[in-house]
Amino acid sequence: MVTLTIDNKRVTVPEGTTIMEAARSAHIQIPHLCYLKGYNNIAACRVCCVEVENENAMVTACNSPVYENMVVHTNSPRARQTRRINVELILSQHDCKCATCVRSGNCQLQRIANDLNIINVPYPEQLPVGLRGAWTSTYPLFRDYQKCIKCMRCIQICDKMQSVHIWDIDGTGSRTTVDVSHNRVIKDSDCTLCGQCITHCPTAGLRERDDTDKVYDALANPDLIPIVQIAPAVRTAWCESFGLDPKAAPMGKMAAALRRMGFAHVYDTCFGADLTIMEEANEFLKRFTSGELKHFPMFTSCCPGWVRFLKGQFPELTGQLSTSKSPQQMFGAIAKTWLAQKLGVPAEKLFLVSIMPCLAKKAECDLPTMQTEERGKDVDVVLTTREFTRMLRADRIDPVHLDAEPLDNPMGVHTGAGTIFGATGGVMEAALRTAYWKLTGQDPDPAIFSAIRTGPALREAVYNMGGATVRCAVVSGLANARALIHDLKTGRAHYDFVEVMACPGGCSGGGGQPISIDDEERAGIRGSGLHQLDAQMKLRCSHRNPQIQALYEEYLGEPMSEKAEDLLHTDHFAWNVTECY
């Protein structure tokens, strides 16, 4: 252990601890921009500079280890002046039009500049430009070169957390910027659209493509019937933008807000999740009992970021993906057919908006396999949770003062199994609950699957169901998925069924979720909230959803039927990751 003094406070920490972490343990906050624990400690921004006595030098707190009897001043005149100059220099190369920025009020650079009382920048403005021209406006991910502060967070997150290596340094000297690696343009890259670079960007250098105008146009079109579906992970996250506790912001408040915005019908994607389980669980059992999974497992296909990753990095394993569409797309296909019949309207009059925690969903709904000439796109527009909350603010809708309203039917009832889709391990557990019932004739106690709910990024379990031994694995984060695939290919691991989520923590930590500049552990909190909702529900298995039962009785026949195959399954070989943009 090492004892030192920080701002006249004695602190004892383990040897090797950085000044930043030592100060944090003593509740002393040192401002920073580029630092990201576990991923980025390269001291690029120099905002965390502190003064160390007897060294006659300013040092960066994020990567300087402490030593015995060290004396640190985080706010000495010299430290304060150094920090101020560094931030002013960053601002001189940053587009400071905060009034038109999506991160205004939620920007680390803005907060630090305000805290330092910087009211003018003494240096001439030198805004950077993309060395390869303007960024495309059609791609779901948007890069603003003039808001980038070159903190390198996006590079480190993409390299270390996701192992996709989309970003890299471009140019030299004052022309240095961050751009797509290997001299590519983004549409020609193997970007998975996980959006983790966005949620870890301290400014608005990266953001999603804004599709709110498309939704406003549809809401104002008298020839369309606007309907909306809400993803499971959104319900425990949307309220953060309004400072509400998730328990004080139930789905009913969101339904009321959406109707206030102008949507004619409000539904829950959890219905689509229950439907996905009916197809995916039956597909797994068919492939498992036929011996098809002797060498490689069946992978879940609910996460479009993961599907893009597998097709781009390991195309030879594309056939191991479940052919079941994601809950979003299943919901859309049924909405434009069965629901349209129920409502007595032609499919082309329905305009379906999805509110998703995900960026890759924007690309998924545009795939050629997710639309037909007869009914058009299954899902017309995808909004991220962030876009949804921006629309609420634009319409001056305060959820605090809204009374909860019920969802519309049919397709408004769901089970606990559908709810946990938003947390890592949730898809696997939901599928196993129904597979257990299919193999044993009895509903399982959900507690038997608790081993795959929490733990490390890669979790594995073996279950005996009706005499069959099923080896399962759950993994989140694409670097972890890459490691798992290498273990499978080298024979070090063998599973029958594997769930993969591109984002750490699953959809709860998705790239379209609210960005917190104070709390980097929100994904786990949101995920545990979904499991709490599941535990409170009477129906906890997808096959017990009465509206799912009615859908099969009235329209689909049975899981994996010819009609179900046509509407609810897809051909992953029919597209590649670069063809849509």
What are the residue boundaries of the structural domains of the chain, listed by start?
2-91, 210-581
Q: Where are the beta strands (DSSP E) in 87-180?
A: 141-143, 167-170, 177-180
Q: CA dist 222 to 33, 226, 259, 375, 376, Å?
A: 47, 10, 16, 19, 19
CATH topology of domain 2-91: Ubiquitin-like (UB roll) (3.10.20)
DSSP per-residue string spanning 330-350:
HHHHHIIIIIHHHHTS-GGGE
Domains 2-91 and 210-581 share a fold: no
How far apart CA 135 and CA 142 sit, in angstroms, is: 7
Return the residue matching tokens 């587009």.
95
User: How many Cβ atoms sit within 10 Å of the Cβ of residue 460?
Assistant: 17
Beta carbons within 8 Å of 281's beta carbon, 6+ residues apart: 431, 432, 434, 435, 438, 542, 559
- Pair 32, 62: CB distance under 8 Å: yes
Write out pLDDT tens, residues 554-580: 999 999 999 999 999 999 999 888 766
Beta carbons within 8 Å of 482's beta carbon, 6+ residues apart: 163, 313
Q: Where are the beta strands (DSSP E) in 413-542?
A: 458-465, 468-476, 497-501
Structure tokens at 228: 């909306």
How far apart CA 233 and CA 273 sit, in angstroms, is: 12
Return the residue matching tokens 């996006």.
154
Distance of alpha carbon 336 from its chain centroid, rounded? 26
Write out pLDDT tens, residues 279-325: 999 999 999 999 898 899 999 999 999 999 999 999 999 999 999 99
How far apart CA 46 and CA 169 sit, in angstroms, is: 18
How far apart CA 416 and CA 530 sit, in angstroms, is: 9
Average pLDDT, the chain: 92
The residues that bridge with 50 in the sheet, in sequence order, are: 59
pLDDT per position in the chain (581 positions), as tens? Answer: 999 999 999 999 999 999 999 999 999 999 999 999 889 989 999 999 999 988 888 999 999 999 999 999 999 999 999 999 999 999 999 999 999 999 999 999 999 999 999 999 999 999 888 777 788 889 999 999 999 999 999 999 999 999 999 999 988 887 888 999 999 999 999 999 999 999 999 999 999 999 999 999 999 999 999 999 999 999 888 988 888 877 766 789 999 999 999 999 999 999 999 999 999 999 999 999 998 988 999 999 999 999 999 999 999 999 999 999 999 999 999 999 999 999 999 999 999 999 999 999 999 999 999 999 888 999 999 999 999 999 999 999 998 889 999 999 999 899 999 999 989 999 999 999 999 999 999 999 999 998 888 888 899 999 998 888 999 999 999 999 999 999 999 999 999 999 999 999 999 999 999 998 775 556 567 878 888 888 988 999 999 999 999 999 999 999 999 999 999 999 999 988 876 66
Say which CATH class 210-581 falls into: alpha beta
- Pair 170, 179: CB distance under 8 Å: yes
**Whole-prediction pTM:** 0.93
**Torsion, Cα of 375, 379, 381, 386 (10° steps):** 170
- Pair 74, 62: CB distance under 8 Å: no
